[in-house]
């Protein structure tokens, strides 16, 4: 526990509805009287956002190695934890983070960095500030292809192919299977209201009342 605050992360592939769910959670949890801090990774602080830009949009014709990319994600995470997440948790806020360390595990392991290396870097950077709850939005990638097409977003993750999205899904499901106490898988194909209801029910079920 990161008491007195609560640390909730949202994970899942592109277009699974993370940002949509976070907007709903922000309102629902604020209505319960909590201070809610919504943030994202990579990014969340000025330095971390600068690193995000460097990682996702390298200079024309240049590519980060998979390990360098993993280190950049963790570099931004270190600043984000130190300057935003830990202070918010310490004053009792509920922090909701759009992607966190599980995304680095999933994407950078697919890119070829060993899970052992990723876990070692993660342990060094995250320390004891582990999420109290991680909601993993899950759906078959082909069911989400239309949502992704509507988004018109381009970064190094978006340009990859359909099989890649299958691997991302499998990587998140494996994390959920390995850490069932921290993680909950939510069906991403319900209506926004259904997904929000499932997320709130999970929060009520898993977290201590406060
Ligand atoms: N439960 C849902 N049902 C239908 N459409 C959704 C749902 N959740 C999100 N969307 C739509 O799908 C697209 C991607 O959602 P978004 O929340 O941006 O996903 P993510 O942040 O995971 O990439 C958006 O156009 C959004 O309006
Ligand atoms: Mg989003």
User: Model's pTM, two decimal places?
Assistant: 0.93
Each of the 210 residues of the chain gets a pLDDT tens digit; together they read: 577 899 999 999 988 999 999 999 999 999 999 999 999 999 999 999 999 999 999 999 999 999 999 999 999 999 999 999 999 999 999 999 999 999 999 999 999 999 999 999 999 999 999 999 999 999 998 888 766 666 665 544 555 577 899 999 999 999 999 999 999 999 999 999 999 999 999 999 998 654
Residue nearest to atom 3 of ligand 1 (CA): 191
Longest dimension (CA), the chain: 51
Residue nearest to atom 6 of ligand 1 (CA): 17
How far, in Å, from the CA of 144 to the mean position of ligand 2? 13
| Domains annotated on the chain, with CATH | 6-206 (3.40.50.300)
Q: Answer whether 4 contacts ligand 1 (Cβ < 6 A).
A: no
How far, in Å, from the CA of 19 to the mean position of ligand 2? 4
Q: Which ligand is nearest to the CA of 41?
A: 2
Tell me the two tokens of residue 178: 């390995």
Q: Answer whether 83 contacts ligand 1 (Cβ < 6 A).
A: no
- Give the whole-angstrom CA distance, residue 88 versus residue 173: 29
Buried b (16+ CB within 10 A) or exposed e, 38-61: bbbbbbbbebbbebbeebbeeeee
Atom index in ligand 1 nearest the CA of residue 191 equals 1
């Amino acid at each position: 526990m990161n008491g007195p605050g609560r640390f909730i992360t949202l994970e899942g592939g592109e277009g699974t509805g993370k940002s949509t769910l976070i907007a709903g959670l922000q309102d629902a949890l604020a209505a319960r009287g909590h201070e809610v801090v919504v943030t994202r990774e990579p990014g969340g602080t000025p330095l971390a956002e600068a690193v995000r830009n460097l990682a996702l949009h390298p200079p024309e014709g240049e590519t980060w190695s998979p390990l360098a990319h993993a280190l950049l994600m963790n570099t931004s995470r270190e600043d984000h934890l130190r300057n935003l997440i830990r202070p918010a948790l310490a004053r009792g806020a509920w922090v909701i983070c759009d992607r966190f360390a599980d995304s680095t595990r999933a994407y950078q392991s697919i890119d070829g960095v060993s899970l052992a290396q990723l876990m070692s870097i993660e342990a060094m950077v995250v320390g004891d500030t582990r999420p109290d709850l991680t909601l993993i939005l899950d759906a078959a990638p082909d069911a989400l292809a239309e949502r992704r097409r509507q988004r018109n977003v381009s970064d190094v993750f978006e340009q990859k192919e359909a099989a890649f999205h299958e691997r991302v899904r499998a990587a998140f499901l494996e994390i959920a299977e390995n850490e069932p106490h921290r993680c909950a898988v939510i069906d991403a194909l319900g209506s926004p209201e259904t997904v929000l209801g499932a997320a709130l029910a999970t929060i009520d079920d898993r977290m201590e009342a406060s």
